Structure 1
């Protein structure tokens, strides 16, 4: 069981949470789908719920911020040694800080930003809560990838902010995709997908993938619980995967990875 203790290295996807209109409904849906034990937070945490898998933090579920109209979504958070320093880098690189850095009780310091193409993400400076304590495991997140209409521009932005190094793994024409790592020879920790050829005017966004032990069974169960299927289960070099939309409109992927 892949677990993690302590702070994540800067630039690593370290946490995920969903912002929804009805946290009780999301609690029931994801608890049933992924086998999460979902705990209430302390009274001054604004109704935020903590999802545990095998007793370790796996994800969060929270209400949408007051006065900020937004679709329901899963947000990817990247670890930062200093949230304020990363906020400055984001602005300098052409991104936007949507919610300035602020302290979350004694658990961490965070903010929400958008890259120059409009993809929204979070930044987490750990204190009492270091982020995910379980990953790459059935019922936990295993991959985070950016879908962007401006492939090179997005790569340059995140390299300037987090120092990422990219490895192109697509064919350069029909499938344009790169993994990113924290160092030149480091293990990949996420991906960037060129979505410029996607039909329509789809916005750029970060997609969270959850590992499951049976993709087809998970898709069927999600549908029974009120989800929609955005991409039917199919086999790929990376595993059997599908993309779903939760009952409140939030998109996420499920996959049985071909390799750990």
Structure 2
């Protein structure tokens, strides 16, 4: 894929019950799922927003201790070189650079503070459309990537060295520190902040919805648990954080239209 280095190019939920996840997110976000050919080792479904592939759901393999949460794939030009750099600046490599035929090359890591993420170079020369800059993206696309870290400044420095991400602007949160915006080139892809009450360390993904109140209503109908919001944010939009019916946390962003 030709996306700028540091742009999120894919999102993945590792689930204890992929069938239940398919029902939940299909109801809340309107995703339609395409099941990849199953093998004894892997049950993987691709979620589509309209005609665009935006994320994947992986059934947790039996007997394997994998984190059941949403994960971000960051695009890089060279997975092997980037993984080496990451290790040199304090990351842990859980899966070394590995090829997936006809998909791309990836590595699975955690940053120096334990936040999990992927590096990937996609096999396709077309840009990924999974992440859309701007809150008014089509429903179902990721629009914001928020990192909660015990040391935000050091985390920003780490991802700056690895991915070229940089801090540009922010919002003060009083005793909780600063909500620092991070950019990949000209694109603001999200923010980094310190630990907060009811927060969860690591990367949190926010998906766009057409109407925040209708989406939160669907979220409740599907069995989700509200954590925070909807709260008004700049841009005449509202943000909501919750957990799906299996406890995986994510966010929703959208306007209030009714």
TM-score, scaled relative to structure 1? 0.88
- Deviation per residue, 1:71-96 (Å, 9 max, x gap): 42000110011111111011001111
Choose from 177, 180, 190 the match for 2:179. 177
Aligned residues of 2:42 and 2:61 also touching (Cα < 8 A): no
Distance 1:98 1:220 in 2: 38
For 2:6, the equivalent position in structure 1 comes to 11
Aligned partners of 1:130, 1:118: CA distance in 2, in Å? 31
202, 205, 215: which is aligned to 2:202? 205
Structure 1: 4+ residue segments shifted above 3 A: 65-68, 128-132, 172-175
- SS of the residue aligned with 2:99? strand
- SS in structure 1 at match of 2:188: coil
Distance in 1 between the 2:13 and 2:250 partners?
A: 10
Give the alignment partner of residue 234 of structure 1, picking from 231, 236, 239: 231
User: Counterpart in 2 of 1:187?
Assistant: 187
Gap regions ≥5 residues in structure 1: 1-5
Change (3 A) 1:95 1:67: farther
**CA distance in 1 between partners of 2:66 and 2:8 (Å):** 22
Give the aligned partner of residue 146 of structure 2.
145
Query: CA deviation digits over 1:127-175, x for unaligned, max 9?
Result: 0486743533212111111111111110111111112221131127455
Contact 1:144 1:190 in 2 (8 A): yes
Contact 2:182 2:189 in 1 (8 A): yes
Which whole-Å CA distance do the structure 2 matches of 1:88 and 1:169 have between them? Answer: 30
Superposition TM-score, scaled by structure 2 size? 0.88
Q: Does 1:215 find its partner at 2:212?
A: yes
Measured at CA, do residues 232 and 182 of structure 1 come closer, stay the same or move farther in structure 2, by a change above 3 Å?
Answer: closer
Q: Are the counterparts in 2 of residues 242 and 255 from structure 1 also a CA contact under 8 Å?
A: yes
- The aligned residue for residue 91 of structure 1 is 87
> How much is the aligned-residue C-alpha RMSD, in angstroms?
2.2
- What displacement does 1:65 show? 4.4
Aligned residues: 248
State the shift of 1:26 in Å. 0.6
- Mapped to 2, the partners of 1:152 and 1:61 lie a distance apart of 32
Cα distance in 2 for partners of 1:53, 1:101 equals 29
SS in structure 1 at match of 2:217 = helix
- What CA distance in whole angstroms lies between the structure 2 residues aligned with 1:161 and 1:97? 14
* CA distance in 1: counterparts of 2:184 and 2:143, whole angstroms: 17
* Whole-angstrom CA distance in 1 between matches of 2:93 and 2:101: 21
2:75–2:121 CA contact under 8 A, matched in 1? yes
